[in-house]
Amino acid sequence: MEDNIKKFKMVTFGGEFGYQPEYFDEGTSPHWLKYGGREGSTMDNRWFWDNHVMTLKVGECVETAFQTITRIE
């Protein structure tokens, strides 16, 4: 049975400094990515999560200033 939950890998730029990829799904995403900032404020990340991350197809990625987020499932 397929669960249809989107899964992602996030790689922080500067991997040479020991950063490890982070894996998460829709329900376990980092708080700053899904909810970061006060709703409606200029720091509200919901637009990025809803309009960019959640629209990725498997294999596609989006870059932030510090990470690359790739949909893996």
pLDDT-based confidence at residue 21 (cuts at 50, 70, 90) = very high
Determine, yes or no, domain membership for 38.
yes
Q: Indicate whether 22 pLDDT > 70.
A: yes
Determine, yes or no, domain membership for 2.
no
Please indicate whether residue 24 or residue 34 has the higher confidence score (pLDDT): 24
Q: For the chain, what is the HEC assignment?
A: CCCCCCEEEEEECCHHHCCCCEEEECCCCCHHHHCCCCCCCCCCCHHHHHHHHCCCCCCCEEECCCEEEEECC
pLDDT, position 61: 97
Note down the domain range covering 29.
7-71
Determine, yes or no, domain membership for 46.
yes
Determine, yes or no, domain membership for 1.
no
Structure confidence by residue, pLDDT tens digits, 1-14: 457 899 999 998 87
Q: Total structural domains in the chain? A: 1
Determine, yes or no, domain membership for 59.
yes
pLDDT, position 15: 64
